[in-house]
Chain A
C-alpha cells in the first residue's frame, strides 16, 4: 500500500520504517495514518502548545490525560476539557454534535469523575442563510437529544454567528466532572498480567478513520463523508457512565480509557505507552456489529459508547457480571505484558506489531512556515470617524440587541436540560455558569469565551483578550481561577499567514494565562477548518474554571433594585475595532483591538473578587460583547427595572456605548455599600453613571428604551 493513501507524509513513513527496521504492513500503515493525523497527534501545534503554562498550585493533572484536573478543596477535584466536533457536525449536524457531547463526557468519565456539567461553544454561519438555520437547528437538537437523555446538565455556552462559518460551523463541547483526588483514574497504571476489556457498544463500521477526516479540509461534497460520522446512543452512554463509575468505586478496574478518535487503537496504545507495558489485542474477541470487518476497520472504528478497561485477572468475572447487570456487552479482548509492543492479532495472525510509544508520541513534529499576513496593516486601518453617528440611538441600540450574536438564545438554552443533578446555581444565558459541588459545599464558576473577530484583526491581542474575558467574568462572579481548557479552531496551518495567526494568538493566550495565573490543564486542536470557498476566522475558545469557597461569596447579575447606584469600572473609551457594533452597523471587520495590560487585568481581577466576597454590590456584570449599552440593557431586562444613566460623554458616544475590550464591569451598588465599594475600587478607573429605577433604561442625551422594547429586542 502507498503510504500517502494511508494519509502519511514521506518523512513520517520513513520514521516508521526506520523505527520498525522493516516494511510496515498495510494494516500498520492505516493505523499509523490515523494515529499520526493532526487530530490525534497535534503534529502542527505541539511546539505552540508548549507555550502554555501548565502548572499551578491547584493543578493535579495537566495536559496529557483524558482531561485536566484541578483541586477544588477538601480532597475533591474537578476534571474538565473542551473538545471540537466540527467536521462531523458540518456533515451530519445532529449526530455530529450529539457524539461530540458523548465523547467529551467519556473523557471526563475516564478520569474516574462523575460528569456533572456540560457547556457548548457554537459558531454558526450568517444567521440569514437557510443553510445556517438548518445546521444550527440540527446541532442544537443533537446536543440536547444526547445531553438531556444522558442526564448531564448543559449549564451554559456561547453562540456566535458569522459568515466565516457558513460552510464550516464549529461545535466545541465542554464537560466537567467531580472526582475524589485519591481515586482518580489514570492511563499510566496498567501492569503486566492484567487483562484488557472492552465495555459497551459493539464495534461497527461507523466513524472509521474519523480522526483522519477531521484532519483534512472539508470536501465540497460533504455528504460523501457521512460514513466517517459516528452515530450516538445516549441510552447506552447513560448505562456506560453508571457502570464505569460503579466499577471504579468498587475498585474493580485498574485503568479506563475512552474510545474516541481511532477507537481501540488509540485507547489501548495510549495505556501501553503511558504505563510502559506491552498490550496484545485479540481482535477476534471484539464484539462486532458486522461480522465481516477487516482488522484495520476494527482497530480504527469510532463506534460510540465504548470504554477500554484494564482489570486484574481475578476481578474479570466480577466486572463481567456487573456489566450484565447494566445490560452492557463486555469482552476480554487482550492482555497486558512486559515490554513496549502494541500487537493486534486476527484469525491467529499478527496484523500489527508496533512500539506503543511510536504510535502516540513518535510522530515527527511539523514546523510550518509562519508569515505575517500581507494585509495585516490594512486590517488595522480603521478609525471610528469612518462611521457616522446614528441619528436615532434608541433604534440603533435595539437593532444591536436584536442582532444574532446578542439577542436572547432561549430557543437554545431551553432545549437543554440545564437543571438535572440538582447542582445548577446559575444556568445558561449569564456571563458565567455556576454549579454547586455537593461534595464540599463550594461553588464552581465556569466562563466560556471566544472572540474570533478580534483574534483575526490582531491574533496576539485577540488571543489574550479571549483568555482575559473569561478570567474577568470569573472574578466578577467572585471566583478564583483554577485552570483553563482551550479548543483551538483554525483553518489550515499549511498557509504561512494562517499559521502565523495560530502561533500569535496562542502566544497571546499563553501570556495572559501566565500573567493571570490561570494554567492550561487540557485542550484540543482542530485545524483545517476551511473549504475551497471559505476559511474560518481564527477561533480559540476557552473555558476558565474558578472556585468560590462559599455560596455567600457569589455575586449574581440581573439583580438591580430601585435606588441602587450604577458604576462603570474600567475605561470609558474602549474600541469599536472588531466589536459587535462595527459588525452590525458596517458589516466590516477592521481596526486594531486594544492592547492588553496585564497589571490592569490583575488589579481588576483582585478588586472584582473582593467586591463579590464582601458583597459590596447587589449585581455585577462584566462588560463584553456589545459594550456598556448591551450590559445595561441585559441588566435592565433581567432585573425588570429601568435606570437613569447620566454620565458625561468624554468620547464619541458610540465608543462609550458600544466599545469593547479591556477589563470593565457594570455594578449596581445599594446605598449602604457605596462607601465601601468606592474604597475597594480606589486607584482603578471608576465612574458613577446612574441610578436604578423607573420603567425604562434612560441614557441622558442619547436614548430611552422601555423594558418592553428591550425584551422584544432580546427576543423574549
Chain B
C-alpha cells in the first residue's frame, strides 16, 4: 500500500500522520510538498491537520486552491481513497470534494482534548475492522469544527448513510453534552457520494500509540489497509 501525505505551508500534523501510518502499517508513506505534483499513484492520499496558509483567509480556503488539489481531484475520480483530517477536512469542504462547511465552534475557541466518537457504518473503506456502533477515542484539536449543511442536504446526507463518525459519550449515546463543537447531528466525519473521500475532525493519528494514551486509531488504519489490499 502506498500512502501520500500532502504538506501545505502551515500544515503541522503531516509528520504525525506519516509517523502513525508507517508505524502501524509498516508501509511506505511519502510526504508531498504542495508545490510538487502527485505522481506516485498512491492508494491513499491524506490531507493532514494544521493551519494551512495560517488559516488567515478562512480555514482551508487557500489550500483548496493550491494546484496540487487538481491532482487530488483526479485521484478521487479514479477511485483512490482520500482522507482529510481536521484542517484537511476543511480543505475538502472548501474544495467542494465534500459538502458543507466547518464553522467556528459553538463555544468559540480552540479545543484540544480526548474525544469519543461512534462508528456509524462498517462497510466503508475506512471502517471495515470496527464493530458497528463501536465507540472509539480520537482526540480533537480545532477551533472550526462545527459541521454545517443546509437542512435538505443534511437530510440527504443522512439518508445516504454518509455520516461515518458521530460525537458521543463513552456509552455511544449522542447528545449536546457530548458534542464538543455544536456540529449538526453530532457529525464528526462524513463520506463523499462515492464513498472514497472521508473528512474527519478528530485525529486518528493521535490515537495510534498506547504510550500516548489511546490506540483506537490502529483499527482505523488497518481498515484502510484491508480495504486497499482486498481490491
Binding site for B on A (CB under 8 A): 141, 144-145, 148-151, 233-236, 238-239, 325-327, 414-425, 436, 438, 551
Contact = CB atoms under 8 A, between A and B. Distances in A.
B76 interface: no
Contacts of A326: 9
Contacts of A233: 54
A416 B112 contact: yes
A424 B212 contact: yes
B19 interface: yes
**Binding site of B, secondary structure by majority: helix, strand, loop or mixed?**
mixed
A234 B54 contact: yes
Nearest to B51: A149
Contacts, number: 79
A417 B205 CA distance: 14
B190 to A, nearest CB: 23
B55 to A, nearest CB: 7
Contacts of A239: 9-10
Nearest to A152: B12
Given A416-B110, A420-B12, 7 more contacts: A148-B51, A151-B51, A417-B110, A418-B112, A419-B141, A422-B16, A422-B206
B10 A419 contact: no
Nearest to B112: A417
A200 B203 CA distance: 31
A673 B155 CA distance: 58
Nearest to A415: B110
B145 interface: no
A233 B16 CA distance: 23
Given A234-B51, A239-B9, A422-B16, A414 B112 contact: yes
B20 interface: yes
24 contacts: A141-B109, A144-B110, A148-B51, A149-B10, A151-B13, A233-B54, A234-B51, A234-B54, A235-B51, A238-B9, A238-B10, A238-B51, A325-B35, A326-B9, A417-B110, A417-B141, A419-B112, A419-B203, A419-B206, A420-B141, A422-B16, A425-B211, A436-B212, A438-B19
A151 B11 CA distance: 8
Nearest to A326: B9
B114 to A, nearest CB: 9
Nearest to A411: B109
Contacts of A424: 212
The winner among A235, A423, A438 for most chain B CB atoms within 10 A is A235
Contacts of B19: 422, 438
Interface string B109-141: 111110000000000000000000000000101
Interface string B32-70: 000100000000000001110111100000000000000
B173 interface: no
Closest 9 CB pairs of A and B: A151-B12, A235-B54, A149-B51, A422-B16, A417-B141, A417-B112, A414-B113, A419-B206, A415-B110
A383 B189 CA distance: 60
B16 A148 contact: no
A415 B211 contact: no
A234 B54 CA distance: 7
Contacts of A150: 12
A22 B112 CA distance: 59
Given A235-B10, A235-B56, A327-B9, A419 B139 contact: yes
A149 B55 contact: yes
A420 B56 CA distance: 20
Contacts of A144: 110
A393 B203 CA distance: 44
A236 B10 CA distance: 8
B212 A422 contact: yes
Contacts of B12: 149-151, 238, 420
A317 to B, nearest CB: 19
Contacts of A415: 109-112
B193 interface: no
B112 A421 contact: no
A38 B77 CA distance: 63
Nearest to B17: A422
Nearest to A238: B10
B212 A425 contact: yes
Nearest to A149: B51
A419 B54 contact: no
Contacts of A145: 110
A98 to B, nearest CB: 13
A150 B203 CA distance: 17
The winner among A148, A233, A239, A425 for most chain B CB atoms within 10 A is A148
Given A239-B9, A419-B206, A436-B212, A148 B54 contact: no
B56 A422 contact: no
B15 interface: yes
A420 B13 contact: yes
Contacts of A421: 15-16
A421 B9 CA distance: 16
Interface string B79-114: 000000000000000000000000000000111110
Contacts of A148: 51, 110, 112, 141
A326 B9 CA distance: 8
A235 B9 contact: yes
B214 to A, nearest CB: 11
Contacts of B208: 422
A528 B112 CA distance: 36
Nearest to A421: B16
A232 to B, nearest CB: 11
Nearest to A137: B109
A235 B56 CA distance: 9
Nearest to B7: A242
A414 B113 CA distance: 6
A414 B50 contact: no
Interface in B201-227: 203, 205-206, 208-209, 211-213
Contacts of A416: 110, 112
A173 to B, nearest CB: 18
Contacts of B113: 414
A414 B109 CA distance: 9
B204 to A, nearest CB: 12
Nearest to A551: B211
A551 to B, nearest CB: 6
Contacts of A417: 110, 112, 141
A244 B200 CA distance: 32
A424 B211 CA distance: 9
A149 B50 CA distance: 7
A367 B204 CA distance: 57
Given A151-B12, A235-B9, A419 B51 contact: no
B86 to A, nearest CB: 10
The winner among A141, A417, A419 for most chain B CB atoms within 10 A is A419
Contacts of B51: 148-149, 151, 234-235, 238
A132 B10 CA distance: 33
B50 A151 contact: yes
Interface string B3-27: 0000001101101100110000000
A423 B10 CA distance: 19
Contacts of A551: 211
A419 B111 CA distance: 12
A235 B110 CA distance: 16
Contacts of B206: 419, 422
